[in-house]
Structure formats: C-alpha cells, structure tokens
Chain A
Amino acid sequence: MSLNVMLALKFLKSGRNQTILIILGIAVGISILVFIGALIDGLQKDLIDGTVGNTPHIIIDPSQEKPTPQIQANDGTIYNRKTINTYRRTPTISGWKQDISLIEKNKGIITISPAVIGAGFISKGGINKSVVIRGLNINEGDKIYDITRRVIKGEGLSGSNNILIGSSLANDLDISINDIVNITTNNGNQDLYNIQGIFDLENEALNNSWIVMDIGRAQKFFNLDGNISTIELQVEDIFMATSIANNLKGQFKGYDIKSWQENNQQLLTALNSQSSSTLLIQVFVLIAVTLGIASVLAISVIQKSKQIGILKAMGIKTKNASSIFLLQGFILGFLGSLIGSGFGSFLTLIFVTFVKNEKNEPLFPIEISFNYILTVIIIATIATTLAAAFPARRSAKLDPIEVIRNG
C-alpha cells in the first residue's frame, strides 16, 4: 500500500464519527437519487405502457385521397366535383397479404394485425348509436388489444355473425349476451348480429363505441372485396417504433405510415419534461452531496495540517500529499454511494411492497436497474473525488514552516 492510501485510510479511521456521518450523508443523498430514478422510470414505463401497451405501435393506412379540386367556370361559377362525380370509395389495401409478408422481413416487429375499420350504427328497440366496427383476425388482434382476456360477460369471438361489444355500449342499449342486434354500415349495408361477449378495455371512449367482429365478416359487410383498411403493428422496443416506421416508409409507397410517437407528441413532451425535472432534482442532490464532502474535507485539511506539514518537511511530494485528500473523497464517495444504492433499492422495494392500489397490486411496476445504479455510483464517486480537489489544493499550498513553528 502506498503512503497516501495508507494515510487516507488512517485519517478516515481516526475521525471515525466524522467519516460515518459523511458516509451516511452521501448515502442518504444517493438513496434519493436511486429511489427517485427508479420511481420516475417505473412511472414513465407505466404511463407509456398504459398509452401504447394495448394499441398498435405503428399503423399502416392507405394514403387518403385528396378532395377533388373545385372547378371554376368562365363566368365565375364554382362547381364542386361532388355534383359531377358519383360515390367515391374510401381507400383500401388490396395487396395486404404480400405487404404483410414483406413487413415480416423487418426486424423488431412482433405483431402484424390486418384490420377492417368502418363506421356504422347499432339499433335496438328504436335507439340508434353510432359505432366503430373493427374487423379483426382475433388471434393477431388479441396480441395488440388483448380483448379476449378482457371480456367480462359471455365469451371470446368465434366468427360467423357473432360480435363483441363494449361494456358502456351494452349498458346504454341494455344489451345482454346472445341478444340479436341490427347493425347498419355507413354505406347502407344492414345485417343482424349475435352478441357473443361484452368487453371492458378500461377506456370509456372504446367501451362506448367499439364493435369487434371477424375480419372476413367485416370485409363482406363493407363490400371490401377481400381488401382491408389498415395494418396494425406492434414492435419489440416501443422507442424504436419511429425508426421502424421510417424504414417501412422507404419500402412501401402510397401508404400513410405512422408510429405511436407521432400520434402522442403531447405524452412524449410531458414525459420529457418530467425526465428533465427529475434530472434537475438529481443534479441538485448530487451538488448538495458534493458540497458536503468538500466542506468536511476542507475541515479535515485544517485538522490534519500538522501532519501534512511534517510530511512535507520529511520530503513528501506535494501531489502525494494532495492525493491523500483526493483519495479520502474517493473512498467516502464510493462507500457512501454503495451504501446509498443499497438503501435506495431497499426504499424502492418498500414502496413496491407496501404502497398498493385497491386491487392490492403495486401502483406501477418498478424495476431497479443495475446499470442505473452503476451509473449513479460512478457519477457520485467522480463528483465526490472532484469535491476533494479543493481541500487537496489547500493542502498543496500548506507551508510546513507555518505548521512547525506554531506547533
């Protein structure tokens, strides 16, 4: 062991109470960093999961047709094409089976679900309500929407004229399982359907408007001729969605491809500002910890000035004398952040174990990330070592004569 390491350890050991106090001080600071970090991380993951967990991450729509231009006659009269044209079909995807096999070749995509989406209204007992009709391949669609698991009455979808409807819609129309309802599409097709199940997607807007049926059935219902209206994807890493969407844009022309980020700018902005304010808190905690160390070591330099003076008289090099204090800063910072990380993880564990919602589940999942803790330890140790630089400079300037003369 070199002299400076030995002396750093001996100095820390001799001022045991001071050392324990400052290590505890650092530990408390670092535990807050770890706890807040884990909490905010968990909260954000939960928010994102809540937002995009059971929705498509990328939606591939056929390009919307532009409204046809108006025509101005020589006399200035404006003619709208609609008066000239007949009914225009909403755009659909015809070659979707080939498209899906091409999409499958892209990395990072875990679910590809073709869907038919159309508007219509449901009638029962003289009451009409407008609805969104979603034709899904229930196996693929469930991977995104998780509907079958969330059926609260009846059972999952099994094709033919069976449908699932949202719980609020069912309430409003007083619908129960195996009721027969009349549904009319916006292009005028009409058919009778059997209510096979009622689902609760924990989203009032969806519970109030969605009707889910088999995709084949929906294609016929909307006269789509085997076409579909959209392809919905889920990706493995949701933050890769935009870059995957951009790749797809390069591969498929004539489609409107959007990632969840493009549709949720507001959420992302909120999350970003939350992250920034968390970072700000963490930086200030770190500054407080650093200042604490700097002040304790500054006092320590004064306390140990005799020792430093005599060591200098005996020929210790200035940089070695200074390094005694840098090493103390390093040791305090490392031990403090190590203990603080343990403490912070423990705090997080307590939070997960004892703070529960009414279903006796943790409020949101919190993961303690090893990498995050490692980063905190490294940054805190570097910061505290740097904090020791000021007292170390002081010790470098210490004149042995002053010390020796004054005893």
Chain B
Amino acid sequence: MDSLVKLSNITKEYGTKIKTKALDKINLEILEGEFLSIIGQSGSGKSTLLNIMGTLDRPTDGELLFKGSKISRLNDDALANFRNNNLGFVFQFHHLLPELSVLENVLIPAWITFEKKPTATIIDRAKELIVLVGVENRVNNKPNELSGGQRQRVAIARSLLNNPSLVLADEPTGNLDSDASDNIYELLRTINKELNTTFIIVTHDMHIAAKADRVIEIKDGEIVRDVSNRSKAEEEAFKEFSPKNCLYCKSL
C-alpha cells in the first residue's frame, strides 16, 4: 500500500509566554486504505493531531506530507482547496447546517468546489451516498427532524461526496448510544472496504478502537503505542486494549 499521510517531527506548541507542547516530534505514516483509530486521554493531543492532519491547524514545527507532497506551507485558500478535494470530516457534533435539507447538506462539498449549484450527476451521487448511509427516506428533511444516529449518517455521507482519499472522524460515535455506535462503525467499515477510503478515527470507545486495523495511543503529545490489529482477531485485539494492558484504559 502507498503512503497517504506522512508526519515527520510534527510539533505543536500553544501559548506565547508559557508554552504548552500539545504534540512533541510526532512521526507517523498512514497508508492508503487503512482504518486507523487514535486513542488517548483528554488533553493528550489526539484531537490536535487529527486537526493537523486535517490541515485545520498548522504545526509549529515539522513537515506534513500528503501523497508525497508538502502541504504544511500552503496558504489558507490553497489549504481550503486541498481539504475540499482530498479530505472528509466527521465530527462528534454532526455540524450539519440546520437551515438546509439532508440532500443540501450532503451537496455542500461539491457546492464549495464548483461555487454553483451542483449538476444532476453530483446530485445523483449525493442520493446514492444517502442510500448508502441508510437515510434515503429523509432526503428532504431538515437535520432537526432526524435522530442523532441519522444526523451522523448524513454527516458521513457529506464527508464522502467529493470522493476524499482520507476521512477524519473526531469522536464520531461520542454522542450516540452503543447500538447506534456499532451501526455507525459498521457503516464506516463498509465504506472503507467498498471505496478504499482511508479512515482516521479519534475515539474514546474501546470497542470501536479495537475493531480498527491499527490503533495509535497518544499520551502527553507523544505516540506511546502503535499496534496493528490487522492480523489479530477482534477479541484478541480488544484484550490488547483491555484495562490490564491499556495504558489509557488504566487511567479510566
């Protein structure tokens, strides 16, 4: 598999007088088609890492490469363009626009790309994605007429519209009950297999984390574990992160 994202010596500091290191010389390579989860305590730096990979935040130092090209030096508009073409985002709070219908929400990425009303082809694709995430009977509803799980499904469909190579999900199941969480996970997994979209999921949910191909644990801005689950059975993987072994879990 080819390298999709590569971080070399990524450091992120906050504050001017008193400096807080959120990330300390992170080196990480993510391959195309991987399904990766990032775990860690609150404040460990996992969300910062995701934001830097998503170009929403700029590293203080270090280099971010996407498909081999340096992108951490691009200007704001070029980065916006880059995000629009290559990345999909799913957040804990679905962040759907309450003023727009489900279909309109899903169409936003293409609307941003072309700066005009999307073509029939794109609308068809949006409808296919809505079918894929299973909210086809809600196409013309507003987000506040949907359940939490349905909203997150719409957000997933939206993240996929522009055929991104990478979808970044920050606690996508954080607001959902366990049944809905499992459903969302299954959906992400299906998309990962069918469309070969790379997923990076920041999560608290050990069940979800254990199902990923690869789990990265962050503590105090450093990667403390990088475990591949691909070869392991799911239960074995979960055991790996069971309270006895899991550094993060111990602190729970």
Contacts and interface: CB of A to CB of B under 8 A. Distances in A.
Contacts of B111: 3, 6
Interface in B35-51: 47, 51
A244 B82 CA distance: 68
Given A14-B98, A400-B56, A404-B56, A316 B112 contact: yes
Nearest to A406: B93
A313 B89 contact: yes
Contacts of B81: 315, 317
B27 interface: no
A306 B92 CA distance: 13
A320 interface: yes
B97 A307 contact: yes
Contact of A3 (B83, B99, B108): B108
Contact of A11 (B47, B80, B99): B99
B250 interface: no
B92 A407 contact: yes
B93 A401 contact: no
A318 to B, nearest CB: 6
Chain A interface, >50% SS class? helix
A13 B99 contact: yes
B97 A310 contact: yes
Nearest to B92: A407
A318 B80 contact: yes
B76 A318 contact: yes
A401 B89 contact: no
B150 interface: no
A2 interface: yes
Given A313-B89, A315-B80, A317-B80, A2 B116 contact: yes
Contacts of A314: 83-84, 89, 108-109, 112, 158
B124 interface: no
A127 interface: no
Contacts of B56: 313, 400-401, 404
Nearest to A306: B95
A405 B112 contact: no
5 contacts: A307-B99, A314-B83, A314-B158, A400-B56, A404-B56
Interface of A: 1-3, 6-7, 10-11, 13-14, 306-307, 309-318, 320, 400-401, 404-405, 407
Interface of B: 47, 51, 54, 56-57, 76-77, 80-85, 87, 89, 91-93, 95, 97-100, 108-109, 111-113, 115-117, 158, 170
Given A2-B115, A11-B99, A404-B91, 19 more contacts: A2-B116, A2-B117, A3-B111, A14-B98, A306-B95, A307-B97, A310-B89, A310-B95, A314-B83, A314-B84, A314-B108, A314-B112, A315-B81, A315-B83, A317-B77, A317-B81, A318-B77, A401-B57, A404-B95
